[in-house]
Structure 1
Amino acid sequence: MTVESRTELVPLRTWFGLRWRGYDRTEVDDYVAELETDLRLVTADRDAAEARVEVLANRLKALQEENSVLQEGLHRICLTPIDPKGLPERLARMVQLAEEERREVVRDAQIKALMIVAEAEARQHDLEDEAAAKREEAKEDFRLAMSLRRAEALRALAELRDIAMDEAARIVAEAKLEASVIVS
């Protein structure tokens, strides 16, 4: 029996050897089918959590790209100086004032860019932390669900074994009694 990671978690056995008066086959088969359904639900929950992590990672990448574009635009604006030497005095003064205003605007833009970068980095860290927390939560939920299912399956199998052993002991005792009656 092959196991596909997206559809089956544990290859559960859906058949049991038949014993004379050993167990109710339909009841055991129904129980195992229910266990397999529960395992598929746990797998679907895990897959949904993985999809959410992927969405968060894509969102983080988009924010990083937006930040890069903003930084490139700021850099391009800052690199276009005007040479005031070839201009008349009045225009030179206007250029000087414009240059001062440009420096002020650039300084404000750099401050805003630094704030945007800091905010983007904070968002990035938050998204990374959230994604890591979701991954850990999904792993822990999966581990707990599997532990509970495994314990429940082992308990059920132990009960079936005990019932079969009791039935076998009873049948052996009856056979011995009948044999002693026949021998007598």
Structure 2
Amino acid sequence: MSVDSKTELVPLRTWFGLRWRGYDRAEVDDYVAELEAELRLVTADRDASEARADALAARLTAVLEENAALQDGLERVCLTPVDPKGLPERLAHMVALAEEERREVIRDAQLKALMIVAEAEQNARRLDEEAAAKRESIREDFRLAMAARRAEAMRALAELRTVAREEAERIVAEARVQNLHIE
């Protein structure tokens, strides 16, 4: 699931209904502003991690392409044979030895190239796994942070409701007492 960091991750309610002596508006507004700032930081961290993972994947692709091009060039150079028919026996023997050495060099180079490709593929898998783990960790951290913030907001809201209810009950009781004194 991809989330655009330029939009809100969770639609946050940034206002509260006004109640008679219900809450300290500046305190609630400050709390919401702080919560939104923290969400922007978490989103920026997540975006930076994803960008780094994408950059590493692009770098790995470039290295693999460069390796393939070098391997093709090596094969072209090494596969051009020398015709021993027109050479004296001693030179023909030297060419045969050189040809055998060339084949060994090609085998060694191919083995090294295979090892490099295998290592690059292993590194690519490792980088992909690390990037996936990092993304999952960021998602889990964000989910936990949001759950904690949501729980805290619900607790604060319940507390505000309790205070408002108690204040309303006190006012009603005072009104009843005053009403009894008037009658």
Same fold (TM over 0.5): yes
Q: Bigger CA drift: 157-166 or 76-85?
A: 76-85
Q: CA deviation at 1:46?
A: 1.3
Q: Which residue pairs with 1:123 in the alignment?
A: 123
Following superposition of structure 1 onto structure 2, how do residues 3-22 of structure 1 map, counting pairs within 5 Å?
Answer: 5-22=5-22
Structure 1 residues 24-43: Cα deviation after superposition (integer angstroms, max 9, x where no partner) = 11111111111111211211
- One-letter amino acid of the structure 2 residue matched with residue 25 of structure 1: R
Q: Which residue pairs with 1:47 in the alignment?
A: 47
Following superposition of structure 1 onto structure 2, how do residues 104-143 of structure 1 map, counting pairs within 5 Å?
Answer: 104-143=104-143
- One-letter amino acid of the structure 2 residue matched with residue 97 of structure 1: L
**Native 8 Å contact 1:50 1:135 kept in 2:** yes
Cα distance in 2 for partners of 1:80, 1:56 equals 37
Q: Which residue pairs with 1:77 in the alignment?
A: 77
Cα distance in 2 for partners of 1:43, 1:29 equals 21
**Native 8 Å contact 2:5 2:44 kept in 1:** no
- One-letter amino acid of the structure 2 residue matched with residue 113 of structure 1: A
- One-letter amino acid of the structure 2 residue matched with residue 168 of structure 1: A
Consecutive unaligned residues in structure 1, runs of 5 or more = none
**Native 8 Å contact 1:23 1:160 kept in 2:** yes
Q: Which residue pairs with 1:31 in the alignment?
A: 31
Equivalent residues, number: 181
Q: CA deviation at 1:99?
A: 0.9
Consecutive unaligned residues in structure 2, runs of 5 or more = none
Q: CA deviation at 1:11?
A: 2.7
Q: Which residue pairs with 1:147 in the alignment?
A: 147
- One-letter amino acid of the structure 2 residue matched with residue 103 of structure 1: R
Q: Bigger CA drift: 50-59 or 5-14?
A: 5-14
Identity of aligned residues (%): 73
- One-letter amino acid of the structure 1 residue matched with residue 103 of structure 2: R
- One-letter amino acid of the structure 1 residue matched with residue 46 of structure 2: R
Query: 1:173–1:121: structure 2 CA closer, same or farther, 3 Å change rule?
Result: same
- What CA RMSD, in Å, does the superposition of the two structures yield over aligned residues? 2.1
SS in structure 1 opposite 2:6? coil
- If asked which structure has higher relative contact order (CA below 8 Å, sep 6+), I would say 2
Query: 1:139–1:32: structure 2 CA closer, same or farther, 3 Å change rule?
Result: same
Q: CA deviation at 1:4?
A: 6.4
- Give yes or no for the alignment of 1:100 onto 2:100: yes
**Native 8 Å contact 2:64 2:117 kept in 1:** no
Cα distance in 1 for partners of 2:133, 2:4 equals 26
Cα distance in 1 for partners of 2:113, 2:167 equals 79
So what's the TM-score if we normalise by structure 2?
A: 0.87
Q: CA deviation at 1:5?
A: 3.8
Structure 1 residues 134-158: Cα deviation after superposition (integer angstroms, max 9, x where no partner) = 1111111111111111111111111
So what's the TM-score if we normalise by structure 1?
A: 0.87
- One-letter amino acid of the structure 1 residue matched with residue 44 of structure 2: A
